[in-house]
Amino acid sequence: MDMSERLYAAILQRSFAGADNMIKAGATLDGVIRDALVKGPSSAAHFIKAQYNAYGQFIDFAKSASPKDFAAVSEKLFGLIGEPLYNTFGEYRYGFFKDRFFDPVFFEALLKFFSGKQMRKQMTMKEIIDRGDVKLLELCAKYGWLKMPRIRDAMIDYANEKNSTECTAFLLDFKNRTADLAAERARAEKRMLRELNANPNSLTELKKVWGFETREDGTLVITRYKGKRTEIDVPEKIGNDVVAAVGAYAFSPMAPRLSNEQGDLRHRITKINLPDSVREIGECAFYHCSNLGGVNIPNGVTVINRDVFTGTAIEHLELPETVEEIVDYGFSVVKFKEIKLPKKLKAIGKSAFQWCVFERVEIPEGITVIMKGTFWQCEKLKEVVLPDGMETIKARAFWNCPELETINLPASIKKIENYKRGGKMCSVFADSPNLTAIVERGSYAEKYCAKNGVKFVYNDEV
């Protein structure tokens, strides 16, 4: 272990005196550890083992740390690095740390020492108002979450709507203490006049709302949504050119070079209507639009790209029969309560439906492989129907599906992969204690179940 690793380990173990001695002796955190803590696993660090492991060390520490220890270690690392730490908001809010997220010490550490880019600020403040927690609202104000008049007033309206008397009182007092009411009123009147006098369908006005590029065939790709509406109608044409595609990160609050205001607005988008002219939807187009509950996929779209719907609030989605491929992570962390897959579907990528909440899924006949992690942590999944012709189920395809009760394993299956966890080989159904597989006598699936302790019945007995 080199000096940098020893320093990092000492800090994570809360041995601050020892860490300070090493710092005095010239020890620093090297580039690998710094990149892991600042960029997180979603950057290139995900593909560099040393960086990925370094980030994992921090998460392992944080899982068992008290809020006080978490804050102390975060402050120490922040001071050494000089940059905000990576904020894996979903993990802190909904994963291992969800029970501590609203602890004042833990919450302030996130606001003070971590990047705010992924923090869903308005959604989080609404949850705080639902809890009636004025102390946490004070922290939000302290760290600038309420500095924008539009957001501040939206929180006041929400607190009123929820009859949260103490939160409303605090927010109104904050407004009275900090706002330049005359300037805000003048800006609002000027904006209203400008909007009333504008033709929303003119090319000039559309350019204010949409970023776009022209392709070689003369059609347009929407590259950026710049508007302020939360229910959005994507135009079929801009000028004389047809909109044929939605580009990567076009609506995502995680898109690069967004201001906090733009990111917060994108988090508030609830509905997007795409025109029939759209044939392509780029990767991450709606990535972490956390309130997006409604979107249509036009006929003619053939591929659901990577992370297109990850982190959205969509419960029901109808895929057109033209869709032939769902790429890796296409629907991960989506609140689907039901999903009907197109009959012409030919490929489903790895982790395509991880963390979804539907109870039943039927795989179309054209699919021959269930990829790694496809249904990882689908905690509500109870029934899986596989087609004749299915050949391979990859490792971790059904990792942590605790409610899974029934899956048919056709005679066509030739390979089911196990995986290693904690030094022990586990079956692909290891985390499904209530599962009964349906197999054909003498099949590979029967032998696999018997060898790996998976309960099964024969298909002629069902």
**Burial of residue 24 (number of CB atoms within 10 Å: 0-12, 13-18, 19+):** exposed
What is the percent of the chain where pLDDT is above 90?
Answer: 63
The pTM (predicted TM-score) of the whole model is: 0.57
Residue pair 30/50 in contact (Cβ under 8 Å)? The answer is: no
Q: How many CA atoms lie within 13 A of 357 on its CB side?
A: 11
> CA-CA distance, 416 to 363, in Å (whole number)?
16
Confidence (pLDDT) at 45: 42
DSSP 360: E
> What token pair was written down for 163?
């009859």
182 CB neighbour count, 10 Å cutoff: 8
> CA-CA distance, 237 to 376, in Å (whole number)?
40
Say which range, 23-32, 161-170, 224-233, has the weakest mean pLDDT.
Answer: 23-32
> CA-CA distance, 128 to 114, in Å (whole number)?
19
**Per residue in 353-399, pLDDT tens?**
998 999 999 999 999 999 999 999 899 999 999 999 999 999 999 98
> CA-CA distance, 363 to 345, in Å (whole number)?
9
Decide if pLDDT at 259 tops 90.
no
The residue extents of the domains of the chain are 3-178, 199-321, 359-462
Higher pLDDT, 310 or 203: 310
Task: Please state the rounded mean pLDDT for residues 305-315.
Answer: 91
**Per residue in 117-141, pLDDT tens?**
777 888 899 999 999 999 999 999 9
Q: pLDDT band at residue 193, thresholds of 50, 70 and 90?
A: low
Confidence (pLDDT) at 393: 97
Confidence (pLDDT) at 64: 86
Confidence (pLDDT) at 115: 87
Residues 199-321: name the CATH superfamily: Ribonuclease Inhibitor (3.80.10.10)
Residue 420, beta-bridge partner list: 425
With helix as H, strand as E and coil as C, how does 47-84 read? Answer: HCHHHHHHHHHHHHHHHHCCHHHHHHHHHHHHHHHCCC
Residue 462 to residues 14, 436, 448, 454, Cα–Cα distance (Å): 58, 11, 19, 17
Say which range, 152-156, 184-188, 316-320, has the weakest mean pLDDT.
Answer: 184-188
Confidence (pLDDT) at 44: 46
Q: How far is CA 364 from the centre of its chain?
A: 26
Nearest C-alpha neighbor of 285 from the set 308, 304, 313, 265: 308
